[in-house]
Every structure is written in structure tokens, then in C-alpha cells.
Amino acid sequence: MPDATREAEGGRRKYGGEAVAAAADPATWEIWPAPEGHREVLYQRFPEFTCLCPRSEYPDFATVHLVTIPDRNVLELKHLKLWLNSFRDRPISHELAAAEIVDTLVRTLDLSYAFILMDYTPRGNLLTVPMIEHRHPKLGDLTADDPLAVALANATRVRDRLIDLAVSRSEP
């Protein structure tokens, strides 16, 4: 919030700004236990991601697609939304934003699997779609009947479909 606006309103940040600022720190996140006995695949889409170009500070807009397989923890959705909103005023490259999102989620939630695809609005007639995949080392030793192997197969199908959609959208 600009300083003049904040001063006119008694120097206080509005409750939305306070919530976004607090969620920028993963230590404040509300983390829940993942369902036991079920290896679920989560697909989450955040169509209103914004950040600032690190060179010009013009806004960049993207839809964030997340595919994850939780191990023991899941992030409460409000905190995920607020954290993604915390990028709004940050100068950060498309590639670094994707890397930071995956790295932070993997580190904080100890995910078995994470894939991010960020579909940015074209800028200067150039479409950028950074993609990053993380696989926990334990995924290399799965048997075909392991519930985690089934979840991984489902997650990779979703990942492949997202890539197909992003690539087909970028073709003339």
C-alpha cells in the first residue's frame, strides 16, 4: 500500500494486506496432516498470480498449476492463496518464481512429488511457460502395487496433460 494511502487511513495496512504479508513467511502457515492410508494427488490452479518484472517492474500475470503428492502434510488452502498473493509486489523472474514456489512447498511440506507449470500472459509477443518437477528420491524404488506408484502415475498423467495444453495454446 502506498505510504500516502496508509497515512490517510491512520497508518494501518488493511486486513488483506496484513494477511498476505503474514503468509509470506512459511513459518506462519497452517499445515494439516495428510489423510492416512490414501496417497492422493492434488491438482491446484491459481489463475490470478502476479509479480513484477525484475527489469521494468511492470506487472506479470500467470496461472499457476500445481500437481503435488503430499507425504505427511498438506497446506491449508487459504494460506496457499495468500502466500501466492505475496509475490504481487516482488520483482522476480518467471523462472525464479516457479523455482521458489516448488522449493518452498517441497521444503516446508516434505512433498513426495511436486510439479509446477506457470502459464504467463505473453509479454512483448513472447509466451513463457516455466515448468519444474521435483521427485523425492524414494520414488525410484517403488513396486507397481505400491499406492505411491499409483499416485505418481496419476500425477504424471496430469502433468503431461498440462504440458500438452500449454504447448498447444502457444502454437499459432
What are the catalytic residues? Answer: 53, 60
The 3-state secondary structure of the chain, one letter per residue: CCHHHHHHCCCCCCHHHHHHHHHCCHHHCCEEECCCCCCCCEEEEEEEEEEECCCCCCEEEEEEEEEEECCCEEECHHHHHHHHHCCCCCECCHHHHHHHHHHHHHHHHCCCEEEEEEEECCECCECCCCEEEEECHHHHHCCCCCHHHHHHHHHHHHHHHHHHHHHHHHCC
Distance CA 43, CA 115 (A): 10
